[in-house]
């Protein structure tokens, strides 16, 4: 079997939704500048009062055996890198040789060891694993060494919901009633917002903790927007609410600062959503910057690489709970790992409504658990009935 072609499809569809779909965004490092602090969510496009336009790009790796590997959604600029930089290298190659092809892609991309080029490698790697599973007629987790269990506990990741305390508490109770025993909420105020911002962040934590009760897990995401002084201030204010972890307190290259925060904070620190490859994660582990590692399979190097990152983490006795921009790919990874290493999986509630919009099968937690996919490959399949327009990128 050989790779015959690689193509990308840009598609659009209509998401019915009355009202404001994305109620609030998270804090961002660029919010240190006042002109950016009030910006909204520019990528979400409203068509009319009842509908949003959904746009996505998918990559297809075609083989001469008739098997097609799918990956996505990806961004158009990731698709551009795949088609211009990598397609020529992969045409005619054996798609089952994932280690060989990953190594070639990495060695070709010495200036793309992190960021968008590594995201392109990640998507290609996942598409190759999709081909592998279809070729051997098994789910990918079976080829990775699993399953280690029949279902994976999921936590509700509440990005996009209002963080106004009363509304957040109502949403938190709603999702607790759906069977989620863990939720993650996202801070909106940043250090530049001063003492008033601290109070808003603390009010959010208090409201959600009181809503979900003392025994449920509460995670909190800073999205790289804090600094050392602010992290120390917040640690004193929110410790009583017992977070399971506080996530990405500082910018990703501040390894030592994050390690200092971890030593000071009376709760665990999670990190690594914006880190790449085993080498980047090894640096995090060496300095002791986190209790939980969060590689994103669609960013950090694909399934081939994240399995290696997990092996590194196991040596340091650090949990791995991937950032989840692909529920399906992450499910296969989690199902192949020990529950002691990968105890839970993120489920981004609002994000997945958009990210999974074009898929025939949309994995969604039931009573707080994600069931393992049973179809061969990763499980991605596009529902052509919801595709309104399609442009082929070559």
How far is the C-alpha of 195 from the C-alpha of 200, rounded, in Å? 9
Contact yes or no for 330/122 (Cβ under 8 A):
no
Nearest Cα to Cα of residue 130 among 295, 296, 302: 302
State the SS3 of 58-114: EEEEEECCCCEEEEEEECHHHHHHHHHHHHHHHCCCCCCCHHHHHHHHHHHCHHHCC
Burial pattern 71-83, b for ≥16 Cβ within 10 A else e, equals bbbbbeebbebbb
3 state DSSP class of 262: helix
Burial class of residue 224, CB neighbours in 10 A (0-12, 13-18, 19+): buried
Burial class of residue 269, CB neighbours in 10 A (0-12, 13-18, 19+): buried
Q: Where are the alpha helices (DSSP H) in the chain?
A: 34-37, 76-81, 87-90, 98-108, 116-136, 140-144, 165-177, 194-212, 228-238, 255-264, 277-287, 302-315, 327-335, 349-355
- Percent helix, percent strand, percent coil in the chain, to nearest 5: 40, 20, 35
Active-site residue flag, 325: no
Residue 274 backbone phi and psi in degrees, to 5: -110, 30
- Strand-strand pairing, 292-293 and 269-271: parallel
Burial class of residue 137, CB neighbours in 10 A (0-12, 13-18, 19+): exposed
- What is the DSSP annotation of 126-139? HHHHHHHHHHHTSB
Residue 244 backbone phi and psi in degrees, to 5: -65, -40
Catalytic residue among 80, 111, 264, 323: 323
Name the residues annotated as catalytic.
Answer: 323
């Amino acid at each position: 079997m050989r790779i015959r072609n690689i193509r990308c499809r840009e598609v659009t569809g209509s998401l019915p939704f009355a009202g404001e779909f994305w109620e609030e965004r998270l804090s961002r490092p660029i919010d240190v500048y006042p002109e950016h602090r009030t910006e909204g969510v520019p990528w979400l496009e409203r068509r009319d009062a009842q509908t949003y336009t959904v746009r996505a790009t998918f990559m297809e790796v075609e083989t001469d055996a008739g098997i097609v590997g799918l990956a996505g959604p990806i961004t158009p600029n990731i698709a551009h890198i795949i088609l211009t930089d990598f397609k020529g290298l992969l045409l005619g190659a054996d798609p089952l040789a994932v280690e060989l092809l990953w190594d070639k892609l990495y060695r070709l991309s010495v200036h793309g060891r992190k960021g968008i080029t590594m995201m392109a490698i990640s998507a290609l790697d996942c598409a190759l694993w999709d081909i592998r599973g279809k070729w051997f007629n098994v789910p990918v987790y079976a080829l990775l060494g699993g399953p280690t269990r029949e279902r994976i506990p999921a936590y509700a990741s509440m990005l996009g919901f209002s963080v106004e305390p009363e509304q957040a508490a109502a949403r938190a109770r709603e999702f607790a009633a759906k069977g989620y025993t863990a939720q993650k909420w996202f801070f909106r105020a940043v250090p530049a917002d001063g003492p008033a911002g601290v109070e808003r962040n603390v009010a959010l934590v208090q409201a959600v903790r009181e809503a979900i009760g003392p025994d449920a897990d509460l995670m909190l995401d800073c999205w790289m927007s804090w600094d050392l002084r602010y992290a120390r201030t917040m640690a004193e204010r929110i410790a009583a609410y017992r977070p399971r972890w506080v996530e990405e307190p500082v910018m990703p290259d501040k390894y030592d600062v994050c390690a200092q925060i971890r030593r000071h904070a009376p709760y665990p620190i999670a990190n690594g959503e914006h880190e790449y490859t085993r080498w980047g994660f090894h640096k995090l582990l060496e300095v002791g910057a986190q209790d939980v590692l969060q590689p994103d399979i669609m960013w950090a190097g694909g399934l081939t690489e994240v399995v290696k990152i997990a092996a590194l983490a196991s040596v340091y006795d650090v949990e791995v709970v991937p950032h989840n921009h692909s529920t399906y790919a992450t499910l296969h990874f989690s199902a192949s790992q020990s529950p002691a290493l990968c105890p839970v999986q993120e489920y981004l509630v609002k994000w997945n409504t958009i990210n999974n919009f074009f898929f025939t099968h949309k994995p969604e937690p039931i009573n707080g658990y994600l069931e393992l996919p049973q179809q061969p490959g990763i499980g991605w399949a596009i529902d052509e009935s919801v595709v309104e327009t399609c442009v082929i990128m070559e």
